Structure 1
């Protein structure tokens, strides 16, 4: 189950996406899969965060992670990128299915939606407040029908984490600067 923290939307999402700049670079790559072209995802990485596509990310079965300090093996305070084939017809359907799964797993959990302003692709976010005092923010982004994929970003927090505001600000900086592009040079392995 994902974990997320409830935070008022006005304090998290003042950051807007900007055009990719020199500090932006590839976080993960994927090979062509059926009709979906090979892809690359670039992000602006906040200062102090470590990017990983191939060691810890591969070990936990995701496309990429960003974390501060040493890798702890715990899901809290780790930004996670998953790139999955498009299964549902719309981004809204993807978000609704995720919310349904969450509430089936944690019927006492609370869910709210928040705005995300990624200017390169539509994104929708959910904040999950778990009955076990671990909260999650989950963002789905749709790079378009031709991509054949959807991106999901997530980050979990202990609900009493005193640094969650700063962590969430960093998380949203990554999400709103994320860019998808076809990648003619991608190999079957993810790169960074």
Structure 2
């Protein structure tokens, strides 16, 4: 369905989210460039829905469509491929009539794998898992839902992929940055 090849430079000066050390998991910082017209939020709406950060256009609607969601979680499975396969399996168990396709992702700082889920409910989701390395103790994901017939679908997906490929993970040795600066 989609054959997207995206590339971007890295930046650590666009801090979007920050996490504290938790046992063996290092403190971390996630940086990402934000497309023009999108609002960054780590602390109000993101906190309310239990994720590390969200990006959205216009006013916050409370609906999941057209919202980029960053989630940083403890590493559960040993490989990135295992994370993607487990996510696809869960999706198809939830929506057996759904369809899954892949998108090529070229994040220059860490391996990432993407899936596009076309739901029988006519809401599509794109989910990207990225692996900042075993030593980090975490894996991160970006996701966004959009209506299947959304006329802005291509633009939304392009903006989403620009954010994904510009995402940079770094251990936070100082752990002094405010969350979501």
1:27-69 C-alpha deviation (Å, 9 max, x unpaired): 0000001111100000011000000000000000000000000
The structural deviation recorded for 1:20 is 2.0
Match for residue 33 of structure 2?
A: 44
Of 119, 122, 137, the residue aligned with 2:111 is 122
Of 8, 29, 33, the residue aligned with 2:2 is 8
Of 69, 72, 87, the residue aligned with 1:83 is 72
Structure 2: gaps spanning 5 or more residues: none
Identify the structure with bigger relative contact order (alpha carbons < 8 Å, sequence gap 6+): 1
Of 160, 170, 182, the residue aligned with 2:149 is 160
Quote the RMSD (CA, aligned, Å): 1.5
Structure 1: gaps spanning 5 or more residues: 1-6
The structural deviation recorded for 1:189 is 7.3
Report the secondary structure of 1:124's partner residue.
Answer: strand
Q: Matches of 2:170 and 2:120 in 1, distance apart? A: 38
- Number of paired residues? 181
Provide the TM-score with structure 2 as the length reference: 0.96
Match for residue 94 of structure 2?
A: 105
Match for residue 45 of structure 2?
A: 56
The structural deviation recorded for 1:185 is 3.4
